[in-house]
Amino acid sequence: MIACLWLVWLDVYFSFLFCSEDGKLSCGYSSFRGKRVTMEDFYDIKTSKIDGKTICMFGIFDGHGGSRAAEYLKEHLFDNLMKHPLFMTDTKLAISETYQQTDVEFLESERDTFRDDGSTASTAVLVGNHLYVANVGDSRTVISKAGKAIPLSEDHKPNRSDERKRIENAGGVVMWAGTWRVGGVLAMSRAFGNRMLKQFVVAEPEIQDQEIDEEFELLVLASDGLWDVVPNEDAVSLARGEEEPEAAARKLTEAAFTRGSADNITCIVVKFNHNQIGSTISEDQRQNSD
With respect to residue 284, please indicate whether it lies within any of the assigned structural domains. no
Q: Are residues 57 and 161 in the same domain?
A: no
Host H or E run for residue 3: helix 2-8
Report the first-to-last Cα separation within the chain, whole angstroms.
36
With respect to residue 198, please indicate whether it lies within any of the assigned structural domains. yes
In a 3-state reduction of DSSP, which class is residue 231?
Answer: coil
Give the pLDDT score at 57: 96
- Residue range 6-33, pLDDT digits in tens: 334 445 555 555 555 445 789 999 998 9
Share of the chain above pLDDT 90, in %: 77
Band (284; pLDDT cuts 50, 70, 90):
very low
Q: Are residues 144 and 267 in the same domain?
A: yes
Dihedral sign (CA 226, 126, 188, 74) = negative
With respect to residue 286, please indicate whether it lies within any of the assigned structural domains. no
Give the pLDDT score at 78: 98
Which residue range forms the structural domain that includes residue 169? 157-190
In a 3-state reduction of DSSP, which class is residue 224?
Answer: helix
What's the residue count for the chain? 290
Is the pLDDT at 167 greater than 60, yes or no?
yes
Q: Are residues 119 and 162 in the same domain?
A: no
Domain boundary among 146, 173, 190: 190
Give the pLDDT score at 279: 38
Q: Are residues 63 and 167 in the same domain?
A: no
Q: Are residues 78 and 200 in the same domain?
A: yes
Band (274; pLDDT cuts 50, 70, 90):
confident
Indicate the pTM of the whole model: 0.89
Give the pLDDT score at 129: 87
- Residue range 32-54, pLDDT digits in tens: 898 889 999 999 999 998 888 88
With respect to residue 92, please indicate whether it lies within any of the assigned structural domains. yes
Residue 198, Ramachandran bin (φ over 0: left; ψ between -120 and 50: alpha; else beta): alpha
Q: Are residues 182 and 201 in the same domain?
A: no
Q: Spell out the SS3 assignment of 25-38.
A: EEEEEEEECCCCCC
- Residue range 234-249, pLDDT digits in tens: 999 999 999 999 999 9
Query: Among candidates 224, 153, 221, 162, which has minimal Cα distance to 187?
Result: 224
DSSP 170-189: TT--EEESSSEEETTTBS-S
CB 64 within 8 Å of CB 119:
yes
Query: What contacts 49, CB < 8 A, 6 or more positions away?
Result: 55
Q: Are residues 234 and 91 in the same domain?
A: yes
**Domains of the chain: total:** 2
Band (280; pLDDT cuts 50, 70, 90):
very low
With respect to residue 289, please indicate whether it lies within any of the assigned structural domains. no
Domain boundary among 147, 170, 190: 190
With respect to residue 88, please indicate whether it lies within any of the assigned structural domains. yes
- Summarize the confidence of residues 189-210 as an average pLDDT: 97
Q: Are residues 161 and 206 in the same domain?
A: no
- Summarize the confidence of residues 251-262 as an average pLDDT: 95
In degrees and rounded to multiples of 5, residue 267 shows phi and psi of -145, 140
Indicate the average pLDDT of the chain. Answer: 88
Share of the chain above pLDDT 70, in %: 86
Q: Are residues 251 and 179 in the same domain?
A: no
Q: Are residues 181 and 69 in the same domain?
A: no
With respect to residue 101, please indicate whether it lies within any of the assigned structural domains. yes
Q: Are residues 47 and 119 in the same domain?
A: yes
CATH number at 110 reads: 3.60.40.10
With respect to residue 78, please indicate whether it lies within any of the assigned structural domains. yes
Band (282; pLDDT cuts 50, 70, 90):
very low
Q: Which residues pair with 134 in a beta bridge?
A: 123, 207
Q: Are residues 63 and 166 in the same domain?
A: no
- Residue range 132-158, pLDDT digits in tens: 999 999 999 999 999 999 999 999 999
Can you say how many angstroms the Cα of residue 251 is from the centroid of all Cα atoms in its chain?
18
- Residue range 70-116, pLDDT digits in tens: 999 999 999 999 999 999 999 999 999 999 999 999 999 998 888 89
* Total Cβ atoms within 10 A of residue 35: 13
What's the rounded Cα separation, in Å, for the pair 153 and 80?
22
Give the pLDDT score at 289: 46
Dihedral sign (CA 230, 209, 214, 51) = positive
